[in-house]
Amino acid sequence: MDEEIRNGILITVFSTASAVGKTLLSINMAAELAKTGYKVCVVDLDLQFGDVCNYLHISPQKTIYDAQMAIQKNINEFVATDYTTVYQCKELEFSVVAAPLNLEEAYNISTQAVSAFISSLRNTYDYIVLDTTAAFSDLNLAVMDLSTIITFVGIVDFIPTIKNMKVGYDTMRSIGYEKNKIRFVLNRSNSKTHIELQDVEQLLEESFYHVLPNNFSTAIESIHKGIPLVVDSERTTLGRSMQDLVAKYTNRLQETSKPDASLSSWVKKLFK
C-alpha cells in the first residue's frame, strides 16, 4: 500500500473574515478523514499566528520553515514526511505541518518552497488539508490554484463580513476558479444575528454546501483539551455535523445521517 504512488486530494480551508472557525474545521476534517482510514496531513498556512498546534496541544520538532530550508538546499534529497509532526489520540493519527516558530521565519517563507512542499506531500497522503489566513495573499492564491477543493468558511454575523464574502467569492470567480471547486460552509448558523441565511445565499447567488450549528462552548472545550470534536464528542451536534461534512467530501453516505432523504429520492425515482 505504501509503495503505491498517491496523488492526494488537496482541500484549502479559506475565508475572507478572521475568526470564523477555519482552524477548528481543518483539524476536525483531518481527524474525521483519518478515522475513516485515510492518510491525512494538515498544513498550518497561518504562518505568523497559526493555531493548529495550539489547538492540538502538540510541540513540533520541525516546522514549515525547516522544510523550506531543506528544499532550498537540495530538493532532490528532500523527504516531506521528515517535516511533519504526528498527532495521536486513541487509535486515530494524522500528520501536521507546523507554522514557523517565530515571526521572522514566518515573514521569510517563500510561496515557491511551500508549493513544492505541498506537491511532495501529495505523494504520501490521501488528503491534505490547508488551513489559511483571511487574505488573498500570494501564498493563499498559489495553494488555492493547486487545490482540488476550496472550502470557503463564512459566518453570518453582520453586514461587513457578508460584503467581504461576496467580494471574495467574486474575486475567486474572476480569477477563473470553477464554481464546483468552491464549497461554502456556513459556521455558527444559529448564533445571535438579525440576518437570514437565505438573504446571504441570494446575495452570493450560491447556496451553502453545508451548515454547521453554533456550539461555541463545545468548540472552546475541544480547543482547551487539545482533542478534535469528532474524536471526543461524537455525540455533540457540532461534532456530528463535522462528520456529515466530511462524509460529503468522501462520497461516503452515512447510513444514520439522513435515512428519510435517501428513501424519498428512491421513492421519487420509482415514480418517475
Binding site for other proteins (CB under 8 A): 16-19, 46, 48-49, 51, 54, 102-103, 107, 133-137, 157-160, 163-164, 167-168, 170-171, 174, 192-195, 220, 223-224
In the chain, the amino acid numbered 20 is: V
Question: Given the complex with other proteins, which of 48 and 61 has the nearer CB atom?
Answer: 48
Virtual CA dihedral for 35, 221, 258, 93, nearest 10 degrees?
A: 0
Minimum distance from CB of 243 to other proteins (Å)? 23
Least Å from the CB of residue 83 to other proteins: 21
- Give strand pairing partners of 126: none
User: 111-121 and 138-146 helices cross at what angle (nearest 10)?
Assistant: 30
Per the CB < 8 A criterion, the answer to whether 29 and 153 are in contact is no
* Alpha carbon distance 173, 203 (integer Å): 15
Instruction: Rank residues 224 and 252 by Cβ distance to other proteins and give the closer one.
Output: 224
What is the SS3 assignment for 37? Answer: coil
**For other proteins, which is the closer residue by CB, 8 or 168?**
168
Is the Cβ of residue 11 or residue 162 nearer to other proteins in the bound state? 162
C-alpha 33/C-alpha 229 separation (Å) is 13
At its nearest, how many Å lie between other proteins and the CB of residue 131? 12
CB 67 within 8 A of CB 97: yes
Smallest separation (angstroms) from other proteins to the CB of 9: 27
Q: Which three cell numbers stand for residue 150?
A: 476550496
Taking the complex as a whole, the smallest distance from the CB of residue 263 to other proteins amounts, in Å, to: 41
Question: How many other CB atoms are found less than 10 A from the CB of residue 12?
Answer: 26
Q: Which candidate, 84, 85, 137, 80, places its Cα nearest to that of 110?
A: 137
Considering beta carbons, is residue 189 or 250 the nearer one to other proteins?
A: 189
CB of 27 to other proteins, least distance (A): 13
DSSP annotation of 63? B
Nearer of residues 103 and 263 to other proteins, judged by Cβ: 103
Contact 235, 241 (CB under 8 A): no
